[in-house]
Amino acid sequence: MSHRRESRRRFRLPRSLRDLVGRELDEEVSLHLELRARELEARGLSPEEARREAQRRFGSVEALRREARKRERTIHVRDRLGDLVRDLRFALRGLRRNPTFAAAAILTLALGIGATTAIYSVVHPVLFEPLPYPQPDRIVTVWERDGNGDRMNVGFTTYLDVAERVRSLESAAALRPWQPILTGDGSAERLDGQRVSWTFFRTLGVAPALGRDFQAEEDAPQTERVAILSHSLWRTRFGGDPEVVGRAILLDGNPTTVIGVLPADFESLLRPEARIWAPLRYDVSQSWACRSCRHIRAVARTAPGVTVDAVNREVEALAATLRQEHPTEYPQEGEAGMEVVPLQTELTREVRPALLAVLGAVALVLLVACANVSHLLLARAAQRHGNLAIRAALGESRARVVRSLLVESLVIALFGGLLGLAIAVAGVEVLVQMAPPEVPRIDQVSVDAQVLAFALALTTAAGLAFGLVPALQVTRKRLWGRLARATGSRSTIGAPRGHRAALVVAEVALTLLLLVGTGLLLQSLVRLLSQPLGFESDRLVTMQLQATGARFETDEDVRSFYDRLLAEVRAVPGVESAALTSQLPLSEDFDKYGIEFRSRPLANPEDGPSAHRYAVSSGYLRTMGIRVLRGRGLEAGDFASGPDGQGSRPVVLINDTFARRELGDTDPIGEEVLVGGGDENPWRVVVGVVADVRQVSLAAESDAVYVPNRQWPWSDALRTLVVRTEGSDAGPDRLAAVGRSVRERIRALDPDLPVTRVATYDDLVAASTARTRFALLLFEIFAGVAVVLAAIGIFGVLAGVVAEREREIGVRTALGASRHGILWMIVGRGLRLAAAGAVLGLAAAAGFGRFLESQLYGVSGLDAATYAGVTLLLLSVATVACWVPARRATRLDPVSALREE
Amino acid sequence: MSEPNRAPRPDEPIPVVKGTLDLLALKALVRRPMHGFEVTSWIEERSRGRLAFDDSAVYQALYRLEKRGLLEAEWGTTENNRRARYYELTAEGRAHLSAETDRLVRYSEIVTGILTGAPSPQPA
């Protein structure tokens, strides 16, 4: 049947269907009329009569013409479908017959498509999607800069100057974090929120979905308290009741009227966890509104048509003016000044370099995948050109052979794409789970359909392109004829060898690059985790407590409550010691104060150093295991009195590195220090030097001063309880059990006290290394994918070589070459390519390592051990990949290889 | 001026019932492939001219059958060396012909039985 179909199609193909059908019909009808007329003439009619009678009997040709066209269309479609089914069957049979090839090609596509889609899906919304506010590119954050060029928050008065005097800003808003305790309906709950100037939502361009926005008169001290709720808080805590607007709720014991609810799609990018907002209620007369009280985050909207550069020039100019007007309230030296940063840049500042590196890696992996699919198809074409030649000999047309090869490529692409989609979905889930909290908008991440389509299209196009090259070469007219004559000859076909070798070299180089990145990050993480923290982190349980509300009106209320609490906790079975601190190392607490040494007076205290202030209870150093290096620790006597100095003199401890840097060889003991400006703080005498502690991150120690909390001018409402458990068993279960007992004791003491951030140091260290671990995870994924792809690539090329040179190998074997010799001939060829790729990759990695250096810790971007290690790893994998086709070569039967000629 | 209810004269051709021509064309091709005029002549011969149809209706039937895959067509040459489109039964065409023949025979038996008062055959 195929022969007949074939001739029909060949006859039909050259002209358009409609013309052809018309011509065929005319020919058929005219033959009919002629035969009929001849028959009628034989019965005695005249030729003219016979012709007319034949036509009459025939009837309408028009209806017939329509029927013929319908027939042709239907048959045409049926033929195409039949061909497709046949090609599909052929492709599936081919893949089943050569499962190694099929698996390699499908795995390549799946990994390439899956990994790149997953990672790009995560990176894209974080880095590139516009922020969910109207005209987001006009929203900027405003910062002061100290003499080192480091950014600082702004003082409230400075913010007011910016808002009033910078004309290129349309509006500005001030914000600070706020964690009110909500009581009343149900259990006490500590909410995360922000106090903001009344202009905040207007500046973002957002309006409440329910109720109204803040008004200017609500943003002042001594006014009625109002608040706006997030949609989620409204749903969860108030059951989505629209009547909540206008109702009073209790925040820190203060009646506060809910005036609005934000839309469900509002994203609080400046503080993702915030669920409630209230006016700042500041006034320049307040002491905390001062210019050097830099705790305000400022955000602004630029005037339409003004560039960020223009705003920056104006803000810098204002900073210069303010420095002159208030010389002791601004740093004067170095790069001190003010700047604005677009919000999008600001939000992605931490993660941008890492994510851009990752995007580069995405592109590389996709390239590797494309290269691989190409090889595999080239090798495959070489392997079965005999089969193609047979088909040519049987008279199959060139177009059909090409099409069936393309269908095979498409079938592979389809399977690869499906598997890739599965990998992408699973991958996105893993990445979102693993992402460190500072990755903004991670909750917006989902599989990006566009990227999936792009990756699929690219790899498929590569497959098609390279599937087409050998198909066309194999079926080139002259070659077609030759092959048809010499079926089974194993002459070299396919792309030039140099081209394929270059692909493998490039692939190995890319893989090595990724492996180096992974190795360096892994080393960084190991070194980071082995850093001494400055304290004994095992057997510690920590939790944050907040004493705010009506019961804690005076400082003395807070102090005596915490004293009672500490005494109770110390009595809990399993507790070896317990203490309270105003901030906890590695917890993201950040509470720095300017420091002035009596022996080194400064003209402008703003130009002095600063350090983390720890207002601690007795027993803090012992509980944390922080060593005292010189002098003494804090003693019971230091906690005996209030800050007014009666009973004992104010004392302070400082850390070793800080003391050395500021005081050199001078003995710090006895030095007098001022912590924080203002009139309330006394000069404190240094009584001891303690070990450096890592406060902000594992990567660096922080300067610190420790003050007895009784001697601080005010009592911190927010404190962290640290508990060291008894005994040597510090397993997580034991720590959790002690933690539970402590919480129960606290609840018995005060059921309304919110206890949050319950954590062991394992948790805190894990959180503080989340970013490095995330970057590492990404690199591990990429490098793993790349290694697999490189192995497939080497395998693909060598399999092609073996297939092409079957006869040569047969001849060699027949002439007495040993199996061993053949094995090494093939393996050696593969390893030479791998080695060339490795050299190229090492050179590229040297450049890349420097780029990665900002993400590294304690290891150079050119770390020799890492480079050597990953090179060795890659060459081992390459050897294995060479081995498989080489073994096949040694098993070739020389007789059958030769007989075919 | 037609006379609608007059009885047809015995020698007057009866217009062919719709769909019947398809079956007749298939039957014509059972022995060998034919071109359109041969099929037309074969039906005329076998019916001894008692069925009335336009010649084009035969071609309509052939095209329909070809469209349904019951026939295949191929250009060939006649004895007089003229190019002609030859039709050949496919396997499906053969199966279709035998099934439809059974159906038509049973159908006409039932209808004939009812109209002539003879007892209807029991279903097999």
State whether residue B37 sits within 8 Å of chain A by CB: yes
Contact A892, A844 (CB under 8 A): no
The residue count of chain A comes to 901
Following DSSP, what letter does each residue of A481-499 receive, concatenated?
A: HHHHHSTT-----SS-HHH
**Cβ separation of A4 and B59 shorter than 8 Å?**
no
pLDDT at B89: 94
pLDDT at A181: 84
Q: Which of A6, A28, A36, A79 would best serve as a mutation to test chain B binding (most B beta carbons within 10 A)?
A: A28
CA distance A409 to A407: 5
pLDDT per position as a tens digit, A383-398:
666 666 677 677 777 7
Query: Tokens for A708?
Result: 């007895």
CA distance A825 to A458: 35
Write out A601-670 in H/E/C secondary structure: CCCCHHHCCEEEEEEECCCHHHHHCCCEEEECCCCHHHHCCCCCCCCCCCEEEEEHHHHHHHHCCCCCCC
pLDDT at A10: 40
Following DSSP, what letter does each residue of A101-115 receive, concatenated?
A: HHHHHHHHHHHHHHH
pLDDT at A259: 95
Where are any strands of DSSP class E within chain B?
14-15, 34-35, 51-52, 71-77, 83-89
CA distance A162 to A145: 14
DSSP label at A702? E
State whether residue B86 sits within 8 Å of chain A by CB: no
Q: Which of A30, A35, A39, A73 would best serve as a mutation to test chain B binding (most B beta carbons within 10 A)?
A: A35
Neighbours of A316 (CB within 10 A): 15
Q: Is A760 helix (H, G, I), strand (E, B) or coil?
A: strand
Shortest CA distance from B84: residue in chain A: A28
Strands A297-302 and A139-145, by their bridges, are: antiparallel
Which of B40, B41, B64 is the closest to A67 by Cβ?
A: B64
Q: What is the pTM of this model?
A: 0.62
**With 70 as the cut, is the pLDDT of residue A203 above it?**
yes
Task: Give how far Cα A707 sits from Cα of A542, A581, A625, A678, A690, Å.
Answer: 20, 10, 17, 16, 12
Following DSSP, what letter does each residue of A261-320 receive, concatenated?
A: E--TT---TTSTT--EEEE----TTSGGGSTT---BEEEEEEPTT--HHHHHHHHHHHHH
Which of B41, B55, B73 is the closest to A59 by Cβ?
A: B55
**Cβ separation of B54 and A59 shorter than 8 Å?**
yes
Query: Tokens for A633?
Result: 């620790």
Query: Tokens for A426?
Result: 């699973």
**Cβ separation of B63 and A63 shorter than 8 Å?**
no
Band (pLDDT 50/70/90 cuts) for residue B10 is: low
pLDDT per position as a tens digit, A165-187:
999 999 999 999 898 888 876 66
**With 80 as the cut, is the pLDDT of residue A475 above it?**
no
Burial pattern A659-684, b for ≥16 Cβ within 10 A else e, equals: beebbeeeebeebebbbbbeeebbeb
Contact A226, A218 (CB under 8 A): yes
State whether residue B35 sits within 8 Å of chain A by CB: yes
Which of A36, A71, A74 is the closest to B55 by Cβ?
A: A36
Residues of A in contact with B69 (CB under 8 A): 78
pLDDT per position as a tens digit, A686-743:
999 999 998 887 877 789 999 999 888 888 888 999 999 988 767 888 889 999 999 9
Residues of A in contact with B78 (CB under 8 A): 31
Neighbours of A441 (CB within 10 A): 17
**Cβ separation of A36 and B35 shorter than 8 Å?**
no
The C-alpha of B64 sits at a distance from chain A's nearest C-alpha, in angstroms, of 7
**Cβ separation of B67 and A58 shorter than 8 Å?**
no
Burial pattern A556-570, b for ≥16 Cβ within 10 A else e, equals: ebbbebbbebbebbb
**Cβ separation of A61 and B56 shorter than 8 Å?**
yes
Which of B37, B59, B72 is the closest to A36 by Cβ?
A: B37
State whether residue B96 sits within 8 Å of chain A by CB: no
The sign of the dihedral angle between the CA atoms of A335, A338, A344, A348 is: positive
Lowest mean pLDDT among A235-249, A491-505, A817-831: A491-505
Contact A320, A235 (CB under 8 A): no
HSE-up (13 A, CA, CB side) for residue A530: 8
Which of B56, B72, B83 is the closest to A64 by Cβ?
A: B56
Residue ranges of chain A whose CB lies within 8 Å of a chain B CB: 1, 4, 7-8, 11, 24, 27-29, 31-32, 35-36, 39, 57-61, 63-64, 67-68, 70-71, 74-75, 78
**Cβ separation of A60 and B57 shorter than 8 Å?**
no
The C-alpha of B4 sits at a distance from chain A's nearest C-alpha, in angstroms, of 24
Residues of A in contact with B55 (CB under 8 A): 32, 36, 57-59
Query: Tokens for B79?
Result: 């004895």
Model ipTM over 0.85: yes
**Cβ separation of B37 and A8 shorter than 8 Å?**
no
**Cβ separation of B84 and A28 shorter than 8 Å?**
yes
Q: What is the mean pLDDT of residues A447-454?
A: 76
Q: What is the CA radius of gyration of chain A?
A: 39
pLDDT at A55: 92
**Cβ separation of B56 and A68 shorter than 8 Å?**
no
The C-alpha of A484 sits at a distance from chain B's nearest C-alpha, in angstroms, of 28
Q: What is the mean pLDDT of residues A132-140?
A: 91
Q: What is the mean pLDDT of residues A308-314?
A: 94
Query: Tokens for B110?
Result: 């039932």
pLDDT at A477: 47
Query: Tokens for A43?
Result: 């019965």
State whether residue B60 sits within 8 Å of chain A by CB: yes
CA distance A721 to A755: 10
pLDDT at A328: 85
**With 60 as the cut, is the pLDDT of residue B3 above it?**
no
Say which residues have a Cβ less than 8 Å from residue A865's Cβ, sequence separation at least 6.
none
Which helix or strand (DSSP H or E) is residue A790 part of? helix A770-804
Q: Which of A11, A32, A62 would best serve as a mutation to test chain B binding (most B beta carbons within 10 A)?
A: A32
pLDDT at A47: 92
Residues of A in contact with B64 (CB under 8 A): 67, 71
CA distance B14 to B52: 5
Residue A609 buriedness (CB in 10 A; 0-12 / 13-18 / 19+): middle
Q: Which of A17-21, A185-189, A322-326 has the highest mean pLDDT?
A: A322-326
pLDDT per position as a tens digit, A494-518:
344 566 677 778 888 888 888 888 8
The C-alpha of B78 sits at a distance from chain A's nearest C-alpha, in angstroms, of 10
Which of A27, A36, A60 is the closest to B83 by Cβ?
A: A27
CA distance A882 to A828: 8
**Cβ separation of B56 and A11 shorter than 8 Å?**
no
Strands A683-690 and A651-655, by their bridges, are: parallel
The C-alpha of B68 sits at a distance from chain A's nearest C-alpha, in angstroms, of 8
Query: Tokens for B47?
Result: 């019916």
Average pLDDT, chain B: 87
Shortest CA distance from B70: residue in chain A: A75
In this complex, how many residue pairs, one in chain A and one in chain B, have their CB atoms less than 8 Å apart? 66
Shortest CA distance from A75: residue in chain B: B67
State whether residue B45 sits within 8 Å of chain A by CB: no
pLDDT at A478: 47
Q: What is the CA radius of gyration of chain B?
A: 17
pLDDT at A349: 76
pLDDT at A6: 42
Q: Is B76 helix (H, G, I), strand (E, B) or coil?
A: strand
Band (pLDDT 50/70/90 cuts) for residue A892 is: confident
Strands A254-261 and A651-655, by their bridges, are: unpaired
Average pLDDT, chain A: 83
Which helix or strand (DSSP H or E) is residue A759 part of? strand A755-760
The C-alpha of B93 sits at a distance from chain A's nearest C-alpha, in angstroms, of 14
Which of B56, B64, B82 is the closest to A58 by Cβ?
A: B56
pLDDT at A226: 96
State whether residue B94 sits within 8 Å of chain A by CB: no
Percent of chain A with pLDDT over 90: 31
Query: Tokens for A32?
Result: 């009919």
pLDDT per position as a tens digit, A825-875:
888 888 888 899 999 999 988 887 777 777 777 788 888 888 899 999 988
Contact A569, A723 (CB under 8 A): yes
Contact B52, B15 (CB under 8 A): yes
Which helix or strand (DSSP H or E) is residue A138 part of? none
**With 60 as the cut, is the pLDDT of residue B72 above it?**
yes
**Cβ separation of B57 and A59 shorter than 8 Å?**
yes
State whether residue B27 sits within 8 Å of chain A by CB: no
State whether residue B18 sits within 8 Å of chain A by CB: no
Task: Give how far Cα A470 sits from Cα of A58, A492, A495, Å.
Answer: 54, 11, 7
Which helix or strand (DSSP H or E) is residue A341 part of? strand A337-342
Shortest CA distance from B81: residue in chain A: A31
Q: What is the mean pLDDT of residues A368-379?
A: 75
In single-letter form, the type of residue at position A716 comes to D
CA distance A23 to A34: 16
pLDDT at A7: 43
**Cβ separation of A70 and B67 shorter than 8 Å?**
yes
**Cβ separation of B37 and A32 shorter than 8 Å?**
yes
